[in-house]
Amino acid sequence: MKLSENKATLSFSNGKPSVDFPVYSGSVGPDVIDIRKLYGETDMFTYDPGFLSTAACQSAITYIDGDKGELLYRGYPIDQLATKRDFMDICYLILNGDLPDAAQKIDFDAQVTNHTMVNEQLHFFMRGFRRDAHPMAVLTGLVGALSAFYHDSTDITNPRHRHISAIRLIAKMPTLVAMAYKYSKGQPFIYPQNSLSYTGNFLRMMFANPCEDYVVNPVVERALDRIFILHADHEQNASTSTVRLCGSSGTNPFAAIAAGVACLWGPAHGGANEACLNMLEHLQANGGIEKVGEFMEQVKDKNSGVRLMGFGHRVYKNYDPRAKLMQQTCKEVLKDLNLENDPLFKLAMEVERIALEDPYFVERKLYPNVDFYSGIVQRAIGIPTDLFTAIFSLARTVGWIAQWNEMLSDPEYKIGRPRQLYNGASFRDIK
Ligand code: SDX
């Protein structure tokens, strides 16, 4: 970051001396006011619940311009990455800072492929869950449990240990997600197949069975690979901030990622794709397109407690660029699977059309986000609704671990420890 010629001066109306703060600029985007000395010089904190105006760290991984609806991974725009490269290229890019050349790609793909199996002991962890356990409950448990298996790479100050942890997590998430799915179906786990692509291997572990050969559908493989790319990283969102804060204590990387999985599960965050599809299916079952207008009135009524899932975003105050790409993928997959007349997709398009015209949504800059169409694509592929957020976790693992690694690579990093505005009881003795 570069020291700006500009500076910020904080002055007080009560005569307290004013304080100057340095201003720093990044490569692009808003400058920051460095308030690290604020408490020491003023005995006051800033107050920013939800961190709407707070930069918690420096990062060079992902840049979002919410007003322009722009998303860059290491400077490359998401639409070019999602249409020109595959998810393994994106994992290499997000982890290492640039796209791999041919040799680097072969080496990286091989590293990931050779870590896709999980320790057989994890099968026993699965046996403890109910068959109808939510996949995110299972995944939170399994990812945390990985901490118990890799004692050979626990020195987080060692870049090689951090690298192998990243490879293991990226490689094993598809295996764990597929295991959670198979367990819920009462079907045997399918082992990874090293001759397949990362995404093809995941599809086979999900949908193959030991009784017959499984052929990966290239259209579905491409669509799912694109879904992984669109979900790979997203700046300092809630789950990434959770991973950073958890990791800042020096804990095990698998434990930190398990914390990210737990946070992503929430319906305001990664759980929105599942909630969005449930919303569309409920709408479809209760009058469909004819009832959309009535439903939208409910959404606009604050007392209804009904939110339009898949709409709105803390940062994007324009169309989420991922939603556009997801809608395009939706059309391609539905066409290739002869599902073009999918009533749910038509319903989603009608909901979007109304929302984009209705002043309630326009004034609040509520546009479709990444979760609005992703559920329809995943449902068309045959992925059950309750697995959508687990798929999101699979894709977001590379972003989480890259941000975790970036934090630990900064010699100045400290354990995160926010303060508070206390408004509870002041000192009192027990009578
Ligand atoms: C993800 O941070 C990330 O980058 C996350 C993510 C990632 O890749 O990591 O992009 C993934 O989490 C996408 C968001 C998925 N969540 C949903 O789709 C759930 C539905 N959306 C919301 O709950 C909401 O829009 C948030 C949580 C996403 C953003 O909320 P904000 O920015 O805190 O906005 P807000 O709650 O303060 O709402 C502002 C206004 C309010 O109305 P007023 O008080 O001004 O009258 O907009 C309204 C809200 O009531 N509003 C909605 C709405 N979202 C906001 N009204 C109806 N439906 C909605 N979806």
Give exposure, 255-280, as e/b (b: 16+ Cβ within 10 Å). bbbbbbbbbbbebebbbbbbbbbbbb
pLDDT at 319 over 90: no
Nearest to 395 by CA among 53, 51, 147, 73: 73
- Residue showing tokens 């397949």: 196
User: Which tens digits make up the pLDDT trace of 118-139?
Assistant: 999 999 999 999 999 999 999 9
- Backbone φ/ψ region at 134: left (φ over 0), alpha (ψ -120 to 50), beta: beta
Rg (CA), the chain: 23
pLDDT band, very low/low/confident/very high, at 40 (cuts 50, 70, 90): very high
Tokens of 168: 């293991």
**393 close to ligand 1 (CB < 6 Angstrom):** no
Residue 187 confidence (pLDDT):
97
Q: Whose CA is nearest to atom 20 of ligand 1?
A: 309
Residues 6+ apart with CB under 8 A from 269: 237, 238, 239, 263
321 lines ligand 1 (CB under 6 A): no
Distance 264 CA to ligand 1 centre (A): 14
List 313, 320, 342, 429, catalytic entry:
313
Question: What is the 235 CA–ligand 1 centroid distance (Å)?
Answer: 16
Give the tens place of pLDDT for each residue, 368-421.
Answer: 988 888 988 999 999 999 999 999 999 999 999 999 999 999 888 899 999 999
Question: Rounded mean pLDDT of the chain?
Answer: 95
Closest ligand 1 atom to the C-alpha of 276? Answer: 18
Nearest CA to ligand 1 atom 4: 237
Q: What spacing in Å lies between the alpha carbon of 281 and ligand 1's midpoint?
A: 21
Instruction: Please tell me the distance from the alpha carbon of residue 305 to that of residue 274, in angstroms, as a whole number.
Output: 18
In this prediction, residue 151 carries a pLDDT of: 84
Tens of pLDDT, residue by residue over 284-314, are: 999 998 999 999 999 999 899 889 999 999 9
Catalytic pick among 371, 386, 410, 429: 371
CA distance 92 to 111: 11
Q: Is 313 designated active site? A: yes
Residue in the block written with tokens 């690290």? 36
C-alpha 233 to ligand 1 mean position (Å): 18
Contact 237 CB / ligand 1 (< 6 Å): yes
Residue nearest to atom 54 of ligand 1 (CA): 312
